[in-house]
Chain A
Amino acid sequence: MNHPTEIPTRRDLGADLPAVTEDQRHIGVAIPREGVRRLTQGRGQFVDDIELPRLAHVVFWRSPVAHMRVTRIERSAAQALPGVIAVVVGAEIAAICKPWVATLAHLAGIKSAPQYPMALERATWQGEPVIAVVAETRAIAEDALGLLEVEWESLPAVLDTETALDPATPLIHPELGDNLCFTRSLDTGGVDEAFARPDAVVFEETYVFGRHTGVTLEPRCQIADWNPGDQKLTVYHSFQAPHMMQDLYCRQFELQESQVRVVCRDVGGSFGIKVHAYPDDFATVALAMLLQRPVKFVADRLESFVSDIHAREHRIRACIAATQAGEILAFEIDDLTGIGPFSMFPRTSGIEGNQVVNLTGGPYKHKAYRAKLKVVFQNKVPTCQYRGVGHPIACAVTEALVDGIAAKIGMDPIAFREANVIPDDAYPATGASGIKLEILSHEACLREAKRVCGYDALRAEQASLRKQNVYRGIGVATLIELTNPSAAFYGVGGARIASQDGATLRLEPSGVLTVMSSVGEQGQGAEAIFAQIAADAVGVAIDHVRVVTGDTDATPYGGGTWASRGAGIGGEAVLQAGLVLRENILATAEAILQRERAGLRVHRGAVIDARTNERVLELAELGRIAYFRSDTLPKTFTPELMVTRHYAQRDYPFIFTNGVQVSHVEVDVDTGFVKLLKHWAVEDCGRVINPMLVDEQMRGAIVQGIGGALFEECLYSEDGTLRNGNMADYLVPMAGEMPDIVVSHVQSPTRSSQLGAKGAGEAGTAGAPGAVMNAINDALAPFGARVSSQPITPEKILRALGKI
């Protein structure tokens, strides 16, 4: 077959729900993004594309070992190399940049040690920046790096989470008293009773998730530009949350917000990697201030692997109890997760484990749940939030347990889920872990998943192929995903991270619209959906809408992109501002036309007679008069054709979404190699603004999840150095091994906003590892073999099969 997979026959989902605007013709429609055409012509504006006068380049000498005390640094040869501007050590940076401690008040008991932009005398992970070399070109800076003489004393490294808390294990930060960052226990009560019931069937397993990382194709990069003439700092950043960094630069460098501007233009992929405050980020800003010229930092790929945050290193002992009749009674987990030597700033490295505790068992209606969490320090690259944040782990564990117990009881995996999910009419509901669920659609999604993948036919084919020694598996994962967070996520803990966002809409004199939003664009299509919403909210054509994001000078104040909040929160602000602008346009028309506004509407670029639909005043004409002919307007009236509205989600701690994924695989039992045959995702993210963009978010996220499930792991040697920190040895998913991914939509709008949109950015990653692992285990079932450690490699499959 050589034609594209079926373009969704449903290109317009808007008609399935009540409209939120008059003449709604863009919201809900799969409109291609004209705004990315320039990227197909190589006309992006990524950070490394920006040239500034006297631009200098920084390269960092990073610790080559897991733990060391620097004993000697000889810089003279490096400093003498022509083209080198400065060679700077940690103490010189610390003189102008304060250290930080990454804790938050709402993670009770979390602790971490003060961290500096560059190590002062002790480096605690391989990759920690120690010395900065600034030169006229990157090449010269790297030449100079080779001329540095550095001596150090190796120190014992903490590299094993299982022994990190043993009394014999050295303390990374003696002043903290142990290597424990954060611990939490949750117990609903009734768990032991549930497991002890005479009719209870129990399934237990231990799951391991390998540490892996984001590998954004555009590496982390920025240009810090300090202008001593007006004492202002401008940072061009590849980043997800410009206001957050604006705030942090102020606090770390004792500046006022009025002195700091952060600009994010094109961002080459982020996924959470670019939402944290890195030590080399602060170091780059410090260098710009010390040297009084712009300084560019672009992490090269080898550097990225040992400096970008890592994520998802867990060992989870888990068990589930259900009745023989198929009712889930209880879940229990014990999660041990290993981070770096510091909790990462400012969101902390405790959130991931915390979410595993909150989300395990999430789709199901059981009441009994017990969870223990320990987050321990190690001398490895620091870890923090990366797409999905705990969800992929919680879902994989939950769904593996569910498959395991269903098999033990002898029930079909989908039938078992259908019997145990919180029913669609039971909302609002509270999960066993205490999570508040507004409205989900597990039953509808399971029905749709069964239908769209042709489940019964897949099972029949599986049975017949087994007779020919071909082993295929079908794996299902039901998931919940938190989106549209309230201030309960960070704000309540004391973090200056905005959970509200704003949108400013301005009608230009010629009748076109400019939208300025505090939520940014990293490729997911935020700018496109804001244009769709604004066009419908105001009543103009979408090609008359221009969107501006990613500039603290130009947009409202807000939180940016994370936790799948862009559509739901940013979109709502755009909608509200647009509706008010529409009203203001009508008020202006009333003043111009001297007609009652009740008899007027805004429609497709003009003010029209509400009764006859006659166009009575083009918006271009309204704009001309409003801006240039105020002499013709009543003195009592001033047009307000620029409107700002903010929005924060305040009904729930989070607005959850839900979905179901199905993975179809074939396992070669002689080699352990897995072929991904196909993948289906049914997702409910509330009102869909653009189905094509949601489909593509799902696909990208699913493939990212598959990466962790089958391919990606940061492999450490026994001395704590990374063995595979390059693109040849760290395996990211490429096109050849990935399946076609079919996406189906269910829409259960949230009532926490008028728009009703929830988030869609992370659900794919949340469900894919669980679905794929379940599919592999389903394929291996005839052999009584199971795998429970990700990434699932041929080695692990061969061992499970007893072939080696």
Chain B
Amino acid sequence: MKTPTDSPTRRVRVEVNGTPLVREVECRKHLIDFLREDCGLKGSHLGCEHGVCGACTVRLDGQIVRGCLVLAAQADGHRVDTVETPTPGKRLKALQDAFVEHNALQCGYCTPGMLMAALELVEHKPEADRAQVREWMSGNYCRCTGYHAIVDAVCAVLEQQKAGRFADEPVDSADEVRA
């Protein structure tokens, strides 16, 4: 097998947290390294780089993905959202508040990925019960909390949603956007 002796690059245009960015990046660079190194956004974390721990969970076109298993090149022409967004929607803000209130984070390293995963649950599985919340959040490793408080926080936001707290904010729909 022949490997290039230099590392080919590509110009990518990605809308990151609402801001269009243009960068020249190595084709091999994954989305998390792109965010952290080329966009200066340190809020997305790496825990394993093979798609299992969930620390790198970010949103691509409104759906959660493993940032370590997406190339920046694949994100060219698409949009990425992280917890660092300066304009969090009401659901994300509610989750952030609930995490603080329930101490659903300790060291905070898994938290950005957890919040992204929880947000998609709140948006797309509004009827989830406690067991289903646990099942959904099973893709995100936390070593500090033992998960109970995280489940509490997510359930609290689901209750708020049922009470109509986010009624005036539509869910980010991925379907129309994907190429």
Residues of A that sit less than 8 Å from B by CB? 1-5, 7, 32-34, 36-37, 39-44, 46, 48-49, 139, 214-219, 266-271, 300-301, 522-525, 692-693, 695-696, 699-704, 726-728, 732-738, 740-741, 764
- Among A3, A40, A522, A701, max chain B CB count under 10 A is at A40
Q: Of all chain B residues, which has the CB nearest A273?
A: B143
In the bound complex, residues from chain A placing their C-beta under 8 Å from that of B156 are: 3-4
In the bound complex, residues from chain B placing their C-beta under 8 Å from that of A36 are: 100, 105, 108
Known: A43-B43, A44-B42. A700 touches B52 (CB 8 A): no
Q: Is the CB of B146 within 8 A of A217?
A: no
In the bound complex, residues from chain B placing their C-beta under 8 Å from that of A4 are: 102, 151-153, 155-156
In the bound complex, residues from chain A placing their C-beta under 8 Å from that of B141 are: 217, 727, 732, 734
Known: A217-B109, A735-B150. A693 touches B144 (CB 8 A): no
Closest beta carbon of chain B to A148's beta carbon, Å = 16
Tell me the bound Cα distance from A692 to B99 in angstroms.
13
Give the number of chain B interface residues (Cβ < 8 Å): 63
Of all A-B residue pairs in the complex, the 9 with the closest CB atoms, nearest first, are A42-B43, A39-B108, A523-B107, A268-B109, A523-B106, A703-B146, A699-B146, A4-B152, A736-B138
Tell me the bound Cα distance from A371 to B159 in angstroms.
54
Which one, B41, B106, B135, B159, contacts A524 given CB within 8 A? Answer: B106
Give B139-178 as 1s and 0s: 1 = Cβ < 8 Å from A's Cβ atoms: 1111111111111110110110000000000000000000
In the bound complex, residues from chain B placing their C-beta under 8 Å from that of A271 are: 143
In the bound complex, residues from chain B placing their C-beta under 8 Å from that of A269 are: 106-107, 109, 143-144
Does B12 sit within 8 A of A, measured CB to CB?
no
A-B contact pairs, 24 of them (CB 8 A): A2-B130, A4-B151, A5-B152, A32-B101, A32-B102, A32-B103, A33-B100, A34-B100, A41-B96, A44-B42, A44-B43, A46-B42, A217-B110, A218-B109, A268-B45, A269-B143, A523-B106, A699-B149, A701-B146, A727-B53, A732-B141, A735-B135, A736-B137, A738-B134
Closest beta carbon of chain A to B165's beta carbon, Å = 15
Q: Is the CB of A42 within 8 A of B84?
A: yes
Tell me the bound Cα distance from A700 to B141 in angstroms.
12
Tell me the bound Cα distance from A37 to B97 in angstroms.
8
Q: Is the CB of A2 within 8 A of B155?
A: yes
Q: Is the CB of B138 within 8 A of A727?
A: no
Q: Of all chain B residues, which has the CB nearest A40?
A: B96
Q: Is the CB of B42 within 8 A of A49?
A: yes
Closest beta carbon of chain A to B52's beta carbon, Å = 4
Tell me the bound Cα distance from A1 to B140 in angstroms.
23
B48-102, CB < 8 A from A: 48-50, 52-53, 55, 82-84, 95-96, 99-102
Q: Is the CB of B143 within 8 A of A217?
A: yes
Q: Is the CB of B105 within 8 A of A702?
A: no
Q: Of all chain A residues, which has the CB nearest B99?
A: A40
In the bound complex, residues from chain A placing their C-beta under 8 Å from that of B110 are: 217
Tell me the bound Cα distance from A727 to B46 in angstroms.
13
B112-147, CB < 8 A from A: 112, 115, 128-130, 134-135, 137-147
Closest beta carbon of chain A to B137's beta carbon, Å = 4
Q: Is the CB of A692 within 8 A of B103?
A: yes
In the bound complex, residues from chain B placing their C-beta under 8 Å from that of A44 are: 42-43, 108-109
Closest beta carbon of chain A to B42's beta carbon, Å = 4
Q: Is the CB of A42 within 8 A of B148?
A: no
In the bound complex, residues from chain B placing their C-beta under 8 Å from that of A740 are: 148, 151
